[in-house]
Amino acid sequence: MPVEYTLQAEDVASARLLALGVRPRVEFTLFAVVLIALISLSVSAWDFASLPLLIGLTACLAAFRLTQISKVRQAALAAFKRNETLRQATVASWDEEGVTIQPLGAPAERIPWTALTAFKENERIVLFRQRSEAIHAIPKRAFADKAALAALRRKARAMIGR
């Protein structure tokens, strides 16, 4: 079942973050929970001498991660602007043999399931990772309905890593 899409800069950033294993919303939710817990302890009856240090370290770590994520997003935006193929209409299809990615006006790339090491997804994209560490993202908005996305999900999970 083929799907047609055109990537957006945020799709590329989302794919890079997902490939790195970074989930910004989850990470910052956890940082917020930890900071709230530490601040709650600071006003409690218990006395922790190192509590201000823990609050400061947690805030610094959160700021560091925010900076890292920002740099990945900036690099993805630069790659999107630099690489015309990323901005072209693309058709992706899959069958028993593998996945085919065909940007408009460019040769098709046929990727056998055996060459793929991972299938990941977040709220925005689905991502295929090849053994060569190359990644391919398909935005979820490209799928006509949830059934089409579910079909790809089932096929990928059944075929990758066999």
User: Which of these, 69, 86, 56, lies nearest to 26 by C-alpha position?
Assistant: 69
pTM to 2 decimal places: 0.76
**Whole-angstrom distance, CA of residue 115 vs CA of residue 156:** 12
**128-134 LR contacts (CB < 8 Å, sep 24+):** 128/99, 128/156, 129/19
Q: For the chain, where are the E strands, in sequence order?
A: 3-6, 89-94, 98-103, 109-112, 116-121, 125-130, 135-139
User: Which of these, 63, 86, 77, lies nearest to 17 by C-alpha position?
Assistant: 77
If you ran DSSP here, which 8-state letter would residue 107 be given? -
The band of 111, judged by pLDDT with boundaries at 50, 70 and 90, is very high
The class that CATH gives domain 3-8+86-159 is mainly beta
Residue range 45-60: mean pLDDT, rounded: 76
Residue pLDDT, tens place only, 119-140: 999 999 999 999 988 999 999 9
Residue range 55-74: mean pLDDT, rounded: 83
| pLDDT for 4 | 95
- Domain spans of the chain? 3-8+86-159, 21-82
Give me Rg for the CA atoms of the chain. Answer: 20
Handedness of CA 73, 93, 98, 156 (dihedral sign): positive
